[in-house]
């Protein structure tokens, strides 16, 4: 009997580091040691970096270090680099995976010859977990350059216990970036994940790649991923959080997505994404800025500072003769 497939697990930072020690311990407790785990540590605070080093010394994880902040897809590509397992699992470090998550996702992916498989995404509600996402369908219409994209989400904000016993595994093309498994061969066919999607639309791009390649993505609702959404945002997390949610990185991502897939950049539907970004940023940072109404006045200049600083760091890194600081990994 052939041995079951093995996956390389890649753990990245979504927008905060302060949860990383807790979520990594939880992930390792719920992941069979036969699956190698790579943690991408991109300019993490010293306390978190020290915890990663402790775990690396035990041989349980490998750490890929970089000296600057990385976008999500940059981190995913670095973590997956060199992985030759049949599957690669990506998990963000503000997520808690249910027991047996990896074997079950791979099982459904293998059974359905899928390109990827993903869990039900939940958040904590006032009366128990609620649906953050259970996959989306995509509709694409119109000529190249002015295509209209529509995302059809299902059961958003619904109490999970009202849905959990009725929903079954099914093909829905768009997952969420919090956690998923994808075939190594599909990543290779895509040429890796698109690093020009600085902070946004990575999930949309991946769904469009599935459509383009004729690959299926399967929701596996008996596996759950609990997304620990902000607030709080620790002061030590502010530089990375501000960069990841900045308007500049959002606009760069949207411009690139539209250029890549021939989408209508002026489609009013994009306003929904901008509102979501703004609402998350305001809600998350209001405790720091004292009042939600003060977030833009207090935070936007700080965001712009972080973007300019990051641009300078990247420019120096790209200069001829400059050595990239990589550390271990």
pLDDT digit string (tens) for 17-29?
999 999 999 999 9
Asked, for residue 318, whether it belongs to a domain, the answer is no
Looking at the domain assignment, is residue 48 inside a domain?
yes
| Residue range(s) defining the domain that contains residue 117 | 7-227
Q: What pLDDT score was predicted for residue 121?
A: 98
**pLDDT tens digits along 171-182:** 999 999 999 999
Q: Which of 195, 227, 259 is the last residue of a domain?
A: 227
In a shared domain, residues 256 and 283: yes
Distance, in Å, from the CA atom of 60 to the CA atom of 70, rounded to the nearest integer, reads 23
Q: Residue 159: is its pLDDT beyond 70?
A: yes
pLDDT category at 329 given cuts 50, 70, 90 is very low
Q: 52 with 91, same domain?
A: yes
Residue 282 binned pLDDT confidence (cut-offs 50, 70, 90)? confident
- Any domain includes 327: no
Q: Is residue 2 part of a domain?
A: no
CATH number of the domain to which 127 belongs: 3.90.550.10
Is residue 158 domain-shared with residue 276, that is, in the same domain? no
Query: Looking at the structure, do residues 220 and 260 belong to the same domain, yes or no?
Result: no
Flag whether pLDDT at 323 surpasses 50: no
Question: What is the C-alpha to C-alpha distance for residues 87 and 116, in angstroms, rounded to an integer?
Answer: 9
Examine the domain organization and report whether 58 and 137 are in the same domain: yes
Of the pLDDT bands very low, low, confident and very high (cuts 50, 70, 90), residue 292 is low
């Amino acid at each position: 009997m052939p041995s079951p497939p093995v996956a390389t697990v890649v753990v990245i930072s979504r927008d905060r580091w302060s949860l990383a020690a807790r979520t990594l311990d939880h992930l390792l407790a719920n992941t069979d040691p036969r699956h190698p785990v790579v943690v991408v540590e991109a300019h993490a605070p010293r306390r978190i970096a020290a915890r990663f080093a402790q775990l690396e010394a035990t041989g349980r994880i490998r750490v890929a270090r970089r000296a600057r902040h990385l976008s999500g897809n940059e981190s995913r590509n670095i973590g997956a680099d060199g992985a030759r397992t049949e599957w690669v699992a990506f998990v963000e470090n503000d997520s808690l995976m249910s027991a047996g998550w990896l074997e079950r996702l791979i099982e459904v992916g293998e059974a359905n010859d899928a390109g990827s498989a993903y869990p039900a995404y939940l958040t904590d509600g006032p009366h128990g977990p609620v649906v953050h996402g259970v996959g989306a369908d995509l509709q694409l219409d119109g000529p190249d350059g002015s295509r209209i994209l529509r995302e059809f989400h299902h059961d958003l904000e619904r109490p999970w216990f009202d849905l959990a016993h009725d929903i079954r595994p099914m093909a829905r093309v768009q997952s969420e970036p919090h956690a998923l498994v994808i075939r190594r061969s599909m990543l290779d066919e895509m040429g890796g994940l698109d690093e020009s999607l600085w902070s946004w639309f990575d999930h949309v791009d991946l769904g469009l790649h599935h459509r383009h390649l004729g690959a299926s993505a399967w929701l596996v609702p008996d596996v759950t991923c609990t997304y620990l959404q902000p607030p709080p945002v620790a002061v030590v997390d502010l530089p990375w959080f501000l960069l990841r949610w900045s308007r500049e990185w959002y606009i760069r991502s949207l411009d690139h997505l539209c250029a890549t897939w021939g989408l209508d950049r002026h489609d009013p539907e994009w306003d929904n994404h901008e509102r979501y970004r703004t609402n998350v940023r305001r809600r998350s940072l209001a405790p720091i800025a004292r009042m939600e109404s003060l977030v833009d006045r207090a935070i936007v200049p700080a965001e712009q500072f972080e973007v300019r600083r990051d641009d300078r760091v990247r420019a120096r890194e790209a200069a001829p003769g400059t050595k990239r600081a990589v550390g271990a990994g």
